[in-house]
Amino acid sequence: MFTEIERPLSKNQTVNQILKQIVLNGIQSANFSDSLKSSSSFDVQIEKTKSQKNGDYATSISLKLSKILNKNPMEIATSISNAIETKGIIKNIEVAKPGFINFFLSEKWLIGNIENILSEGSNYGNSNIGKNSKIQIEFVSVNPTGPIHIGHARGAILGSVLANILKTNGYDVFKEYYINDAGNQIEKFYESVYARYLQNKKIQASMPEDGYQGEYIREIAKEISKSFNEKDIPSDKKNAKLFIGEAALNLMIENIKNDLESLKVFYDNWFSEKSLLNDGIFSEALDFLNNKNLTKTKDGAKWFTSTKFGDTKDKVLIRSNGTPTYFGTDVAYHYSKLLKRNFDQIIDIWGADHQGHVPFMKSMMPALNVDQERLKILIYQLVTIKKGSAAIRLSKRKGEIVTLKDLIEEVGVDVCRYFFISKSPESQMEFDLDYAKNESKENPVYYIQYAHARICSILEVAKETKIQFNDCDLSLLSHESEIDLINKMILLPDLMQNIASNLSPHHLPHYTLDLANSFHVFYQNCRVISEDKNDFEISKSRLKLISATKIVLAKCLEIMGMDAPQAM
């Protein structure tokens, strides 16, 4: 029988959690617990070390405790390490200045995790930390006045991958696209399409000032001309513009859906802004604020007194002409999310051009009697496109667009998804088209997928030569490259939980690249299937090792929405 610290990782368990409990037990055994009963200001943090000479994992808890206990951190670290048994998961413990406790993991314990990965299969790395909590993620939600372009793709993939990660951690995830199908920009879109429609009919018509100039407007107008007979379209200008505009809007929304689905971005719901007005949700939300005396009338407009909750200035909800503002519909939409549909948490993913809207959103939460922790806002920086040495600037109204469809045709879905998720949302991003198309090990997408394909190829050879490796001696795995590969694989459960807790999916592609690199190094150093009969047993052990590696690589690729090719 295994003791708790000897047992390989089980479901919902991570290395970090095991070591944290070991340290807490060590603190108790070192008789520090009584002195710490009155203090709740410390938490044991376990970190993966950057260099193997400092062990596999480390904690700086002694530095924190020294301030509470008024003792030398090296003495505290020594006392804790002496109180910890070096068995099971731990091979050795070292104390390093100024008070770090470094843990070296047991090779025997590491090897035991191979069977665990194989038994869990595609569920490896999953957890239930979400406890079926309902999370709504709203992302992309660009105005349906033009095609999805390369800048929007960053938010699309961020939302898509984050949703996948949250699902694997036990959250009940609901993905939503908010259709901005009301407001001034829609009126301008209607006018632009109607003008092009008339021009197609050889009827003189001027484009509206600040209208949408792109070639896509001409194409939509042509499509409408083909789809409808003259008798279908109202004869008076007002209703004709409305009819053609709505047809164009529906066509644009359908195109947006198709483009996103081609990027493997799918939604559970497409929520119409118009429905807030038509279904009475806007009025209900406004009444809610009125009843709390959080609105005022000024210059014929209805205002939300958001400065009471830390906003920089009060916001207009309804203009003097009676039309709702962007702020007004946003209040109603979040009222719907939090008070009507009762999501436990909502995540809004916005481009950097919406940064100024954040204070208003934060002021809205207490006004709705909602805990601010139920709202998370992720802001991602805009994208610069580079081709050769030239940067390409984007403008929807001027028609200067590199569409998502164009990008997918040029570099492929997998490259798009990996490149856009590989940068922290807060960091600026330059998408280098030439680099993205490079099919060599310099391209991380190619490098990762080639690792998976190479494993599949080796396992196919084993199958063809009838090598049975279920019953093998894993203790034969002792090469540095083998141990490093296992060390990388057992990081996944910790990583997945950390990403879910911190909403930071950009760590996953870097981990996957690191894992692929460890496999390639292993492959160079350790022949998997050897023709030497004396190496038959170690070959079986290595086949089982790479079978586990294949599971972890495929899992990461699946979460990122990328293919795991069998051959390349």
Residue 482: inside a domain: yes
Backbone conformation region of residue 485, classed left if phi is above 0, alpha if psi is from -120 to 50, else beta? alpha
Q: CA 388 from chain center: how many Å?
A: 29
With beta carbons less than 8 A apart as the criterion, state whether 481 and 526 touch: yes
Residue 421: inside a domain: yes
Burial class (CB in 10 A: 0-12, 13-18, 19+), 61: buried
With beta carbons less than 8 A apart as the criterion, state whether 114 and 77 touch: no
Question: Which residues constitute the domain of residue 292?
Answer: 279-380
* Same domain, residue pair 179 and 284: no
* Same domain, residue pair 540 and 499: yes
Please give the pLDDT value at position 9: 78
Backbone angles phi, psi at 75, to 5 degrees: -65, -40
* Same domain, residue pair 98 and 23: yes
* Same domain, residue pair 146 and 260: yes
Residue 148: inside a domain: yes
- CATH number, domain of 178, equals 3.40.50.620
Residue 10 makes CB contacts below 8 A (sequence gap 6+) with 116
* Same domain, residue pair 198 and 233: yes
Residue 545: inside a domain: yes
Sites in the chain below the pLDDT cut of 50: 1-4, 395-399
Please give the pLDDT value at position 402: 75
| Both tokens assigned to 482 | 């083998």
Residue type, 9: L
Residue 128: inside a domain: no
* Same domain, residue pair 465 and 555: yes
Query: β-strand 345-351 against 383-387: which pairing, if any?
Result: unpaired
Query: What is the spatial distance between Cα 149 and Cα 386, in angstroms, rounded to a whole number?
Result: 14
With beta carbons less than 8 A apart as the criterion, state whether 32 and 65 touch: yes
Please give the pLDDT value at position 2: 41
* Same domain, residue pair 79 and 153: no
Domains held by the chain: number: 4
DSSP letters for 129-177: TTTT-EEEEE-----TTS--BHHHHHHHHHHHHHHHHHHHTT-EEEEEE
Among residues 479, 473, 487, the alpha carbon closest in space to that of 515 is found at 487
* Same domain, residue pair 204 and 290: no
Helix (H, G, I), strand (E, B) or coil at 356: helix
* Same domain, residue pair 305 and 416: no
Query: What is the spatial distance between Cα 348 and Cα 341, in angstroms, rounded to a whole number?
Result: 16
Residue 389: inside a domain: no
Q: At which of 88, 105, 122 does a domain end? A: 105
| Both tokens assigned to 267 | 């939604």
Query: What is the spatial distance between Cα 499 and Cα 169, in angstroms, rounded to a whole number?
Result: 10
Residue 468: inside a domain: yes
Query: What is the spatial distance between Cα 228 and Cα 87, in angstroms, rounded to a whole number?
Result: 77
* Same domain, residue pair 461 and 490: yes
* Same domain, residue pair 258 and 148: yes
With beta carbons less than 8 A apart as the criterion, state whether 183 and 326 touch: yes
Residue 367: inside a domain: yes
With beta carbons less than 8 A apart as the criterion, state whether 351 and 382 touch: yes
Among residues 292, 293, 314, the alpha carbon closest in space to that of 305 is found at 314
DSSP letters for 273-327: HHHHHHTTHHHHHHHHHHHTT-EEEETTEEEE-GGGGT-SS-EEEE-TTSPBPHH
With beta carbons less than 8 A apart as the criterion, state whether 505 and 564 touch: no
- CA torsion sign, 68 to 15 to 80 to 58? negative
* Same domain, residue pair 259 and 402: yes
- CATH number, domain of 491, equals 1.10.730.10
